[in-house]
């Protein structure tokens, strides 16, 4: 593909990241628990006007044939248990999770030059919790979820409009929207990595892990003991 005179080659793109004085150091982590670090980073992202959807994250799944897929979701809750998002239970991501619950989530907050990468196991939340959140959504979003057979082939855009119109007519102006095949997943993490970009490309990467046997790896040189069963380590960029 030829490049026009006004086009900038991708190889020439260079974004300035953080300076060395702003490096992300282990000493900056007051509580050696990744949920505490995530909460602090998220709070800053929420206060950064340039970040319009700080809860947007890329969710990666793998199907039974080992083929990966990736898409953005909105994380609606982040607690000490894990990270919750909602979707249609007939979607591709849901089908992937049914066969392989191991997933990965990545947040990227460009204005802060920060990213958080999470690996863990996804499980459905209770139907009661899904229903509670479903009815907290705007009514138009509830109807949209009921109208869309997510990830399935449809004949046209007008098909969705027709299904939506049928649902609206059936429910009337005030009828409660029944919960469709839709709900939440909780991702329980066993790995959370925090990345902060450096202009010299010697980026900061601090990874937390937990699980069977990880604490036996602690040597206080490469692997350090954290809190609540977590260990942490610095990775080369």
How would you write the pLDDT of the chain (237 residues) with one tens digit per residue? 555 556 889 988 888 888 888 899 999 999 999 999 999 999 999 999 999 999 999 999 999 999 999 999 999 999 999 999 999 999 999 999 999 999 999 999 999 999 999 999 999 999 999 999 999 999 999 999 999 999 999 999 999 999 999 999 999 999 999 999 999 999 999 999 999 999 999 999 999 999 999 999 999 999 999 999 999 999 999
Please identify which of the residues 201, 209, 210, 234 carries the catalytic annotation: 201
- Look at the pTM and tell me if it is higher than 0.85: yes
Cβ atoms of 61 and 94 within 8 Å: the answer is no
CB 192 within 8 A of CB 117: yes
The confidence score (pLDDT) of residue 8 equals 86
- What's the CA gap between 233 and 185, in Å, rounded? 28
Signed CA dihedral, 155, 60, 203, 18: sign only:
positive
For the chain, the structural domain boundaries read 16-135+181-234
CA distance 139 to 170: 14
- Record the tokens describing residue 200, joined without a space: 């010299």
pLDDT in the model for residue 121: 98
Please confirm, yes or no, whether 137 is among the known catalytic residues. Answer: no
The CATH class, in words, for 16-135+181-234 is mainly beta
Q: Name the token pair of 139.
A: 């009514």
pLDDT value for 22? 87
- Residues ≥6 apart with Cβ < 8 Å to 224: 26, 32, 218, 231, 232, 233
pLDDT at 100: 97
pLDDT for 5 equals 55
């Amino acid at each position: 593909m030829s490049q026009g005179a006004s086009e900038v080659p991708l190889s020439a793109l260079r974004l300035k990241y953080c300076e060395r004085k702003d490096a992300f150091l282990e000493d900056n982590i007051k509580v050696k628990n990744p949920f505490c670090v995530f909460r602090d980073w998220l709070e800053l992202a929420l206060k950064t006007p340039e970040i319009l959807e700080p809860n947007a994250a890329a969710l990666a799944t793998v199907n039974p044939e080992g083929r990966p897929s990736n898409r953005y979701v909105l994380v609606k809750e982040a607690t000490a248990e894990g990270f919750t998002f909602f979707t249609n239970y007939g979607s591709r991501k849901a089908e992937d999770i049914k066969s392989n619950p191991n997933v990965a989530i990545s947040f990227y907050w460009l204005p802060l030059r920060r990213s958080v990468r999470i690996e863990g196991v996804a499980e459905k939340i209770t139907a009661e919790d899904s229903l509670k959140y479903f009815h907290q959504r705007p009514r138009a979003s509830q109807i949209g979820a009921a109208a869309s057979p997510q990830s399935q082939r449809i004949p046209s855009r007008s098909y969705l409009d027709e299904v939506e119109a049928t649902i609206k007519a059936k429910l009337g102006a005030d009828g409660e929207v029944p919960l469709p095949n839709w709900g939440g997943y909780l991702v329980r993490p066993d790995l959370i990595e925090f990345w902060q970009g450096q202009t010299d490309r010697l980026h900061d990467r601090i990874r937390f892990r937990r699980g069977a046997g990880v604490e036996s790896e602690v040597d206080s040189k490469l692997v350090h003991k954290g809190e609540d069963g977590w260990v942490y380590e610095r990775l080369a960029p």
